[in-house]
Amino acid sequence: MEIKKKLPDYYHKHKEQIKKLSFVFKLIFSIALLYFLFTKVSFKDTISHLIALPLSIVLLLIVSSYFKFYIQMRNWKSLLKIDPKVNIKKGDIFRTHTLGLLFKLIIPGGQGSFGKMFYLKQISKKSAFFIILLEKMFQTWIVWVAGLFACAYYFKAHNIVFFTLFLISIFIPLFIPYLFKKASSERKWRRYRRLVLPLMISQIVYLLLTFYQYYIILSFEHDVSIFDLIIKVSLVLFATLIPISYSGLGIRESASVYLFAQSNINAETAIACSLIIFFFNSVLPALPSLFYFYKEKKN
């Protein structure tokens, strides 16, 4: 009993140090994984794949990344409407969304996205935290559901278990107001219920765009089966939910090498594809926030 009591007390006293150690550990783990991968594959060939990407594919990646960015920004705007006090301008929605992407990129595990709550001046921190939590729930939900579906197909010995979890999980956003009724007021939950289906559909479209990005890169040099690609990409994304690396780096590349090798795609191509997707989906959309971050810091 004393140990159970001491552990929470110890955590609260050393919370900041534990967070810093967690950050360092995840960063070291990601670097170690990438280093291990590049000792097994040709770094030069991987760079060659990155450089050899045609301009047409780069443009398609930019356009698809823009639509993905727009979808998530619209979702952010919709979720903010849950709180009746929110009436911010489009520029503020763009600013807070991009800042959230920057903080998410900097801090491992995605917790950094909660940092944008400090840039929402009109609502309480509790309400902002609640809205960001819902946003993260939808983003995690689609990866979780796709991953369970892929596992049901890939791990045939346990397909009934995974498919049952898939059927249960796909409806989770609809039941959130009933599962966590005390988390917010009934007025906000009513607003949430009006938004839940459009948000679910938009996350599905977001995932389809991710499949499309993988397809246009991999089909450039390989004959790719679309269904096989969907299963493998879903498993790669599913693996990144494990919060043991920095922004999924290392985990994503390792999973890509292992899974795409089964489709006769070499390791260099798999790693190059993974790094390209990471750049266009995570790094590029976060760049505008550097201007806002510098401006806020200066003020």
Cβ atoms of 257 and 271 within 8 Å: the answer is yes
| pLDDT the model gives residue 250 | 74
Identify the CA nearest to 135 among candidates 116, 159, 119.
116
18-22, 41-45, 113-117, range with the lowest pLDDT: 18-22
Q: Is the pLDDT of residue 220 over 80?
A: yes
Q: Residue 151: which residues within 8 A CB-CB, separation 6 or more?
A: 158, 162, 235, 238
Runs of H (alpha helix) within 155-245: 159-169, 172-179, 186-218, 226-239
161: alpha, beta or left? (left if phi > 0; alpha if psi -120 to 50): alpha
Identify the CA nearest to 238 among candidates 110, 111, 147.
147
Q: What is the 3-state secondary structure (H, E, C) of 119-159?
A: HCCCCCHHHHHHHHHHHHHHHHHHHHHHHHHHHHHHCHHHH
DSSP 246: S
| pLDDT the model gives residue 26 | 64
Domain ranges for the chain: 2-298
DSSP 283: I
Residues in the chain, total: 299
pLDDT tens-digit readout, 117-170: 877 777 888 888 899 999 999 999 999 999 999 999 999 899 999 999 999 999
pLDDT tens-digit readout, 41-77: 776 777 787 787 889 999 999 999 999 999 999 999 9
